[in-house]
């Protein structure tokens, strides 16, 4: 069994529907090994990335895990990086998506 590491303050600030939804590990689309995954939660028909929600990453921003452990979702381990020419970062704002999607 795997566990994500999240600060209490960050967890408490998550939208209620994310806190009450099971979190899953999803291999990234271009993964070349099992360490390339993200922690996600289902919102409607979409999976949102928990680190993006914690950091409130906007479209075009990338959340980087400083220590390389993608289960370490503490804000001390997460950094936002802006878009650079040629980068393929997320085109969505996950937190806004949660707020726009009707509850089931």
Residue 57 has a pLDDT of: 86
Contact 64, 52 (CB under 8 A): no
Look-up of token digits 């590491």: 5
pLDDT of residue 1: 77
Say if 2 falls within a structural domain.
Answer: no
In a domain, 69, yes or no: yes
Q: Is residue 3 part of a domain?
A: no
Q: Which structural domain range is residue 65 located in? A: 8-100
Q: Residue 81: phi, psi to the nearest 5? A: -125, 140
Predicted TM-score (pTM) of this structure? 0.76
**Cβ contact 26:38 at 8 Å:** yes
Task: Decide: 70 and 27 in contact? Cβ < 8 Å.
Answer: no
- Taking only the tens place, the pLDDT of each residue in 52-103 is 999 988 887 888 899 988 999 999 999 988 765 555 555 665 666 665 555 5
Q: In this structure, is residue 48 part of a structural domain? A: yes
Q: Is residue 41 part of a domain?
A: yes
**CA pair distance 14, 73, nearest whole angstrom:** 12
**Domain count across the chain:** 1
pLDDT in tens, 12-51: 999 998 999 999 988 776 656 666 788 999 888 888 999 9
């Amino acid at each position: 069994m795997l566990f994500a590491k999240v600060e209490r303050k960050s967890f408490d600030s998550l939208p209620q529907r994310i806190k009450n939804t099971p979190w899953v590990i999803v291999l990234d689309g271009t993964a070349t090994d099992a360490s390339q995954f993200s922690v996600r939660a289902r919102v409607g028909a979409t999976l949102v990335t928990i680190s993006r929600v914690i950091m409130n990453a906007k479209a075009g921003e990338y959340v980087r895990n400083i220590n390389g452990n993608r289960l370490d979702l503490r804000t001390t381990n997460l950094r936002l990086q802006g878009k650079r020419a040629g980068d393929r970062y997320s085109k969505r704002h996950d937190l806004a998506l949660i707020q726009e999607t009707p509850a089931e």
